[in-house]
Every structure is written in structure tokens, then in C-alpha cells.
Chain A
């Protein structure tokens, strides 16, 4: 709720010339401080704690309450006297007619550079952090972010291309993970057999769950998919005979390097290639595996957009009624979008199970669905680069909170930055939506064009009806 200061509804304090009206600015600051005080009084001013006799008692935190209110008041003053006049002056300045040279250069070389960077990433990390430190950076940042990039690109097919709002996407991720976990630990099938199988199963579930909801639109569709996602999770929790309930499935076999396991044995990866054993090899292998899967998702999406089915998805997003009157079978179009999106979630799910070696229903909560959908929307629906950037910002941002131990020196030892991760995540979602409602990347590249390929503003792309 701190954004009380960041975004005042009526920009008092400065008129359009950028001059500051001191009285109005001070008045607004006073109101903001009062509101912030009222807002934070119950939950920051008082803290409920359990004492030794297991009773709830109250303690007060006046110092914290007043410092938070003071910080908010300070921000409001800063906004009124510095930021707002500056924004007003910038708004009045005439817009440059041509794109600056560095921007078109950056726009042109960004994608090849980014691809080169992610391919070299493990080598860069090992070079800078050494073999010991590299594990964390490749695993927590590289693999974790790439899983979300892949999920975002998979959901992009459903939400960004076909315009169908899906809040239960994590269900298909769970189907893929459990398909791999159960089949690998019970029957000992290899990862490379189960990867496509998990995709097929998830796609099947996509059709199964997609079929009843075809008639629904927008928010209603979102809520039914949310309901399906939750039902699947509750079944995973309670169907103990199959899924082992809350305890989850552990000891899931890890993928091998084309038959060579990553173990310290004589026939392990390190021994076969004459290297010293290190757990980093497996992590690097998993990194390239998920990188390959993510590239596969992106490549398939790009190719599908040029096929009739991809064109039909985007047409459906722009205008469903026009689609129907032109003879496009909307049922099949929606179902293919659902099932192909679900298939990629299934791939990602089986990779997730193989990487963790352990899965439980806890990993497939609604929060995951919300995270994936927010990555798609925050990045800019339909823009694959945007989705990748959003995944890096949101997932990398929350992961980096784990590394900010120097904050303990400022706020004292009891301060734990990790517990603020999701708080800031939610806050960032609100802020990005307010300032960039169409996502971080504000341009789209249509797959159909007259004469020359052009970049268009994201406002011109339809929002979808489903």
C-alpha cells in the first residue's frame, strides 16, 4: 500500500508549466501522511504475538509506524517538488520525429546478443564466480528464470495469440510433472521417453478441460480455468494412493546425459569424460536442456504464427464473430491453442520434476498460475522478448532478494530480505500495470503485413474475447 505516494490521483502541487504550487503540494503531503497513518495504524502500529502461555498479546511498534509514514510523506514531497514538475516539462517538450540511432541499433542487435549471452551464460558465471559459486547462479537464476520464460511463452500461445484468458495454466504444468514423476519412479522410463509423453498427456488434459469452457468469455473463462486448476491441485493432495498427497513424490530419477548418469561412479559423466567429479556438470546440462526446450517453444510459436492455425488464433483474438462468419472453426482453433499451450507446460513440468527430484502439490498453487499470467501480461502479450524480459525482472528480482544480505547491516540482524520477496512481487505487478498497462514492450510485430514488415504499437493489437 506504500504506493499511496508514488501515484497521486490528481497531480496537485504543480501546474502544467511545471511550476510548483507550494501550498497545494504541502496540503497534498499532509493528506497523504494522514491517510498513510490511518492505513498502517492497525497492522504496523500493533503486532500480535503469542506469549509463553500460548495467548495472543499485543506489542506496539510506534517507531516503525512513524518512520514508514515519514518515508511516505518524504516521497510525496519529492514527487510534488521534483518528479512531477520534471515529468510535466518532459511531457511538454516536442517529441523527436525520428528514432535515435542508438535505439534502432540496439533494437536490431538485441535478440542475437541476448541469444549469444544465454548460450555463454554458464561459462561467464564460472569465469567470474568460480566453480563453487557458479552452481547457485546457474541453478537459482539461469534455470529458474528459464523455466518461467518457457512457461510464459507456452501461456503466450493461449493468452497472447488466441486471446483466451487462462488462470489455471499451472494445472498442465502439474500434469507434466506428475506424469514424469510417477512413470519414472514406478516404471523406470527414461527422461527422453517421458518428456514427449508428458507433453502429450498435458495436451490431452488441455483438450479435456478446454472443451467445456469454449463458450465462455474473458473473466468468466479465467475463473473457470482457475477452478479447474484448483480442483486438480486438491485431487493431487487427496488422492494419496496415487500421488502420496502433501508428502509428494521424492527420489524421482534425474535425467542422464544420453545414457551417461551424472554420478561419481566409474561410468558417471565426469569419469567417462575424464573430468573431476562436480555437481556443476549436471546443473549446466539441465541449464542447456531447459534453454533448448525454451528455444523450441519460441521456435514452434514463431513458425505456428505463419501457419493457418496460428493465423486463425490471432484472428480469433481480434474478432471472434468475424472469424466465425468467415468459416473458421472456432472450436478447433481454441482447442488447438489450449492443447499446444498445455503441451509446453507439460514439457516444462517434466523438466521441473527431473530437476527437483521431488514434487508435491505445494509447487502448483494458484500463485504459480498468477505469476505466469502476470509475466505474460507484464512483458506484453504476444511479445516473446517482452515475456522473457518480464520473467527476468520478476523471477530474477525475487531471487536476488535472497542475496541482499548487506541490508542486514542497515536494518539490523533480524531483518530478512527474503520474506519481502512476494510483497515486492505483488507491488511490482501493480506498478507495472499502472505505468505500462500493455506491458513492458510496447511494440508488436504482426505476422501478416502488406509489402513490408513493420513494428506496430501494442495498442493496435486486439485484446481477445475469450
Chain B
């Protein structure tokens, strides 16, 4: 199959790679450039485990073709913290509030929460639950994920 050259910025680094037109963005991330922090949980775009930010907006990277990311910037959970010691407030909040157990949904859940708080810095519980509807978790029952997002909003100064 023909390969197409693409240039994608991932977590601040530019990657020039040739991919099949059908290659999913998530497989490009995981298998072509080794950014394995983003994971795949389903094949129907229901679970959201693969959520990343594409030019700052959350997308499910299983539902975007790698070629569609050509010339764009992807931020994954691996690029969220500023260095080892400056965690993103959402990461801090998830640890503080026990918002994760097995951690498999976490990369997507965290990125979805980052996007949610960008859109709405002071969400109600209902808005958090609706906002994260596209990200499934089987471990936490979401109770502590909701708490985590509320606490992250507080850390980010949105929560009055």
C-alpha cells in the first residue's frame, strides 16, 4: 500500500514519518513513534482511552487518521507535565483524589478532563459527568474521577 509522508508534532517534538493512508493516529503514536502512553480500549470509539489533544482540542485518536494530523500538534498524557516535577493540576488532582486504579483509562480520562476544564473552568458535578461521558472507566465508578476534576478546577483557580 502507498505510504504518505506526514509531519506531526507530538508532545513538542516533530516527527516526519511515512504512513499508510488508513493508519490510525493512535497506532501512529504507539507503534510508529513509540508514544505508548496513549492506549486503545475499544474499536467503536466508545471508551475514550485513546483521547489526546489535537491542536488543543480533545479527539479520540482511534477515530482520527494519522494523515489527518499532518501539520498539526498532538498533546498526549506523556507531554502534559512540564518536566518531572511540575505536574499538570489534573494529574495532581487525580492522584490526590484517587481518581485512578488500574490506570488504563487514565491517559484518555486526564486529557478529556483537561479539555473539559479549558471549556468550562468551573463545572458542576453534572457538567463533569456529562463532559466525561465519552470516556469509560471500569475501576472507579467515576466517583473519585468527578472529585478529581472538581479538585483540579480548584487548583487551576476556576472553582470559587
Q: Do A and B come from one complex?
A: no
Interface residues of A (CB under 8 A from B): none
